[in-house]
Amino acid sequence: QCIIDNVVDLKVQAAITSIVSATLAKAKLLCQDVSARGALVSCPAGYKPTGCACGMGCGSWDIRTDSTCHCQCAGIDWTAARCCKIGV
């Protein structure tokens, strides 16, 4: 008799836990910087801005539509975005 259910249950649980852990351990933050002249710069597709930097020493910024860094100081010369995503 094949007591498949129990055997599969036990083996599957152990195998899944092991492989999932090993795979997740490889998951990493992949990040890159993008910058542009002016007060706006967008992250590449698939990346999210995690912070922004501005020219002229300016630290006042906001993020528009979850994708674009906007520096608020008047006459800003450049804007940079730190853009990250999850990679395996």
Running DSSP on this structure, what letter comes out for residue 29?
E
Q: Strands 61-64 and 40-42, how do they pair?
A: unpaired
Give residues 55-84 in contact with a second copy (rule: CB under 8 A): 55-63, 66, 72-73, 80, 82, 84
DSSP state, residue 52: E
Q: Is 52 in the site for a second copy (CB under 8 A)?
A: yes
Strand-pairing partners, residue 17, are none
Q: Which of 23, 36, 37, 38 binds a second copy (CB under 8 A)?
A: 23
Backbone angles phi, psi at 37, to 5 degrees: -70, 150
Task: Report the interface residues with a second copy, using CB under 8 A.
Answer: 2, 4-5, 7-9, 11-13, 15-17, 19-21, 23-25, 27-29, 31-33, 35, 48-63, 66, 72-73, 80, 82, 84-86, 88
